[in-house]
């Protein structure tokens, strides 16, 4: 098991765990936590401060109608049964949609470089007895002026 702590330029902390060897029931171990709640994926469960029963997880399905992204709602039937709970289908659909319409894709070469370098940076940190390693800025500062994805905003 490897756990990496990543601090963003805006001061946010990302805890990234990688484990493909320890025994346990299948789980993607997805977790998103903020100041008002927490979501843990597969199996999906949620806790929202002020809405959920105190100190108790709820099934996330109850909140899907309120929080599901409009694209996911639109693609739910078509993506059913596709890989990774339909997300492979939706990612492929979005790439093709962007290419056909001339929009920039949701992911670019800089995203790919960022995602790919985490393994190498983690290995360097481990080799240095868990010392921090700077994350390279593959965009040379262009991330500061990058427009947000239209599909997200």
Condensed to tens digits (0 to 9), the pLDDT of residues 1-51 reads 888 888 888 888 888 888 888 888 877 778 899 999 999 988 899 999 999
Condensed to tens digits (0 to 9), the pLDDT of residues 43-95 reads 899 999 999 999 999 999 999 999 998 998 999 889 988 877 788 899 999 99
Rounded Cα distance between 56 and 49, Å, is: 10
Phi, psi of 58 (to 5 degrees): -125, 155
The DSSP symbol for 132 reads -
Residue 108 pLDDT greater than 70, yes or no = yes
pLDDT score of 86: 84
Would you state the structure tokens that stand for residue 71, as one six-digit string? 């694209």
- How is the chain split into domains, by residue range? 1-63
pLDDT score of 153: 64
Is the model's pTM score more than 0.85? no
pLDDT score of 48: 97
């Amino acid at each position: 098991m490897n756990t990496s702590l990543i601090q963003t330029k805006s001061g946010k902390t990302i805890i990234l765990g990688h484990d493909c060897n320890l025994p346990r029931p299948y789980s993607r171990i997805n977790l998103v936590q903020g100041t008002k709640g927490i979501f843990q994926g597969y199996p999906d469960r949620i806790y929202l401060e002020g809405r959920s029963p105190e100190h108790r997880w709820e099934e996330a399905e109850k909140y899907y109608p309120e929080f599901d992204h409009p694209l996911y709602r639109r693609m739910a039937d078509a993506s059913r049964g596709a890989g990774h709970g339909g997300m492979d289908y939706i990612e492929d659909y979005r790439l093709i949609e962007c290419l056909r319409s001339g929009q920039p894709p949701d992911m670019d070469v800089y995203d790919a470089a960022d995602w790919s370098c985490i393994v190498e940076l983690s290995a360097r940190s481990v080799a240095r007895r868990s010392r921090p390693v700077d994350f390279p800025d593959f965009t040379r500062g262009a991330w500061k002026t990058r427009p947000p994805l239209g599909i997200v905003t």
